Structure formats: C-alpha cells, structure tokens
Amino acid sequence: MTAAEESLTPHEDVIVKEWDAFPMRRPYIAKVIVDMCTGGGEPLKRAATILEQLTGQTPVQSRAKQTIRDFGIRKREAIAVRVTLRHERARDFLERALKARENTLLIKNWDEDGNFAFGIKEHIDIPGVKYDPQLGIQGMNITVVLERPGFRVKRRRRRKAKVPWRHRLTREESMVFMKNEFGVEILEKERERTYLF
C-alpha cells in the first residue's frame, strides 16, 4: 500500500475499491490547459516562448472579446496564449506543476463536475526551470479536466447523447483521485507562510 492510499479515509477507500471492481468508473485526466494572460505586445511573445519551453507544444493565441479602454485592450487583439495537453504529456506537466504548489490544493479550486484549476505565480517555481533574464518571470493558470470512460458520447458527431447523472464525476471523487494518484493534500484554506528577512 502506498503512502497516498494510507492517507485515505474509510469512505474514500470505498470509492477506490469501487474503481477497482468497476474499471469504467475510474476517472482519468482528459486534458490539462495551461494559459498565460499578459496583454498584447512583447510580454505576449515572451509568454509564448516560456509556454513552449515548458510544455514542448506550440501555444495558440486567445483574443479579446471586447474593447476595454482602461486596460488598453482592443476587440480581437491577442492578449493571452494557451496550450492543451493530453495523455502522458498532460500527466507529466501536472506532476511538475503540483510540485511548484508543494502538492497542496484548496477545496475551492474544484467545481461541481470534478474539474479543478489552480495558479502558479512564478513559472520558475516549476522544478527544472531556470530563470532567463530575457524572458523574465510569468505566472500561469492551469485547468485540469477529469472524465470517466464513456464521456465520448456527448462529443461524437453521430448519435450524440447525454452522460447520465449516475456516470458523471463528482467533486469528492475527483479529490480522491488526486489524493490517490498524485498524493495531493487538499486544504480548506491556504497555509500561512513565514518569511525570514
């Protein structure tokens, strides 16, 4: 038994045993979306370079939906870059990103469908990343989408169908998956950090 499995409560242990008995109930990481919103111009180019170095994929641009004069943003102007990771690449990046957060997440990071998101203030916190003065330091948002096998029925072109409620993923099951697979500690509020000056 792993350390992650030992930390599960009896109720959470029942959920894991159900997954072992019924493999179609076991969730998996469908995709990990990493995005950096910097506004236009040179910062956006630097963010795209950082994202490509971190993920090994070419990022796509996100454009502004409306004009906001106070921020100097025009409609349809490129203001962010994002990458969608799947399969092993998604899992590998998520492991590294969680280490930057000291393997802790908050309950409020989750939505009702079992998906969760968190932020990293400085990309150099990710293990193996070195500071480059030409690129500077950027923050990023990471969104993780979890699914069960069979969710394809809601996306296919022919005979599209809804996923029944009994097969949908819950917030609790998603948290159990992250504890069991990644050893993540889930807190109600952020730990207070002590700084030595």
Q: Give the pLDDT confidence of 146-176 residue by residue, as tens digits.
A: 999 988 888 889 999 998 888 889 899 999 9
Per CATH, the homologous superfamily of domain 3-187 is Ribosomal protein L5 (3.30.1440.10)
What is the overall mean pLDDT for the chain?
Answer: 86
Residues 6+ apart with CB under 8 A from 135: 46, 49, 50
Domain ranges of the chain: 3-187
> d(Cα 36, Cα 53) in Å, to the nearest integer?
13
- C-alpha 91/C-alpha 144 separation (Å) is 10
* H-only helix segments in the chain: 3-6, 10-21, 42-55, 87-100, 171-182
Position 95 scores a pLDDT of: 93
pLDDT > 70? residue 192: no
Mean pLDDT for the stretch of residues 102-126? 91
- As to burial, measured by CB atoms within 10 angstroms (0-12 exposed, 13-18 middle, 19+ buried), residue 39 is middle
Q: Residue written as tokens 């796509």? A: 60
| pLDDT 10s digits, 31-59 | 999 999 887 778 888 888 999 989 989 99
Residue 141: pLDDT over 90: yes
- What span, in angstroms and rounded, lies between the C-alpha atoms of 189 and 117? 15
| Closest alpha carbon to 163 in 175, 180, 150, 174 | 150
Instruction: Return the higher-pLDDT residue of 147 and 64.
Output: 147
* Pairing mode of beta strands 60-63, 185-187: unpaired
Report CA torsion sign: 121, 103, 110, 57: positive
- % residues pLDDT > 70 (the chain): 93
Query: Above 60 in pLDDT, residue 8?
Result: yes
Q: How many other CB atoms sit within 10 Å of the CB of residue 43?
A: 16
Query: First and final CA of the chain: distance in angstroms?
Result: 42
Among the residues of 110-151, which ranges form H helices? none
pLDDT at 90 over 90: yes
